[in-house]
Amino acid sequence: MSDHYFSEKPKIKSGKKQINEEIHGHSFDFHVDHGVFSKGGMDFGTRLLIETYQEPEITGSIADVGCGWGPIGISLAKTNPDRHVYMVDINERSVELSRENVRLNGVGNVTVAQNNILDGFDTIDFAAVVTNPPIRAGKDVVFSIYEQAKRVLKQHGEIWIVIQKKQGAASTQRKLVELGFEVTVENKQKGYFIFRGKKID
């Protein structure tokens, strides 16, 4: 596999910097770096996903899969203080950054783990899985996120996904339906789709 943000150990030289993002009226400071997704700051799709996301009606934890440097998981932890957020990424640099950013923003209801998607998380009661999937890792990896989400989510739990039309929005929707999710398009802007899939069986 080529060296990109889904690589376990990025080889590109580090060039860490600090940025500030305003999310849901909160000011966040983040460390970002080369070798991780969206190294220059929060991308449009991630922001759209965070701003569209709605808290599930059921109790349970939240999983941020492919957390990168942590904007989704950290902002959801801040706005959902009664829920625990698990942030996972295969990229060790992403995990290090996310842990730094958790401390930097003073959120305590978070666990960050270097992990292959959601392997080993079956005993946790997840109400939601949220992901900006690693498209460059390939369809098999992306679809395995959806499959694992179906496995770990509680009944009536939800998967929230942002994906561009040109990067496979239609095939993502078909896969979610195939897996038995009740799928709705919650937002659509500039070629980005926000899908919500509710686990109904």
pLDDT in 10s for each residue of the chain, 201 residues: 344 455 566 667 888 899 999 998 899 999 999 889 888 889 999 999 999 999 999 999 999 999 999 999 999 999 999 999 999 999 999 999 999 999 999 999 999 999 989 999 999 999 999 999 998 889 999 999 999 999 999 999 999 999 999 999 999 999 999 999 999 999 999 999 999 999 997
In a domain, 16, yes or no: no
**Beta-sheet strands, E only, within 5-107:** 17-23, 26-32, 61-65, 85-89
In a domain, 2, yes or no: no
Asked if 126 contacts 58 with a C-beta cutoff of 8 angstroms, the reply is no
Asked if 5 contacts 137 with a C-beta cutoff of 8 angstroms, the reply is no
Which residues, in sequence order, are bridge partners of residue 165?
A: none
How far are the Cα atoms of 12, 40, 74, 88 from residue 91, in angstroms, in the given order? 12, 17, 17, 9
In a domain, 142, yes or no: yes
- Extract the tokens encoding 79: 């706005």
Length of the chain: 201
The parent domain of residue 63 ranges over: 43-199
- Extract the tokens encoding 59: 């109790």
The tally of domains found in the chain comes to: 1
pLDDT of residue 104: 97
pLDDT of residue 40: 85
pLDDT of residue 11: 65
Alpha carbon distance 17, 117 (integer Å): 26
DSSP one-letter code for 145: H
- Extract the tokens encoding 182: 């009740």
- Extract the tokens encoding 30: 């983040």
In a domain, 194, yes or no: yes
In a domain, 8, yes or no: no
In a domain, 5, yes or no: no
CATH number at residue 160: 3.40.50.150
In a domain, 22, yes or no: no
Residue 104 one-letter amino acid: L
Cβ neighbors of 114 (< 8 A, separation 6 or more) are 88, 89, 90, 91, 92, 95
Alpha carbon distance 46, 43 (integer Å): 6
User: What does pTM read for this prediction?
Assistant: 0.94
In a domain, 172, yes or no: yes
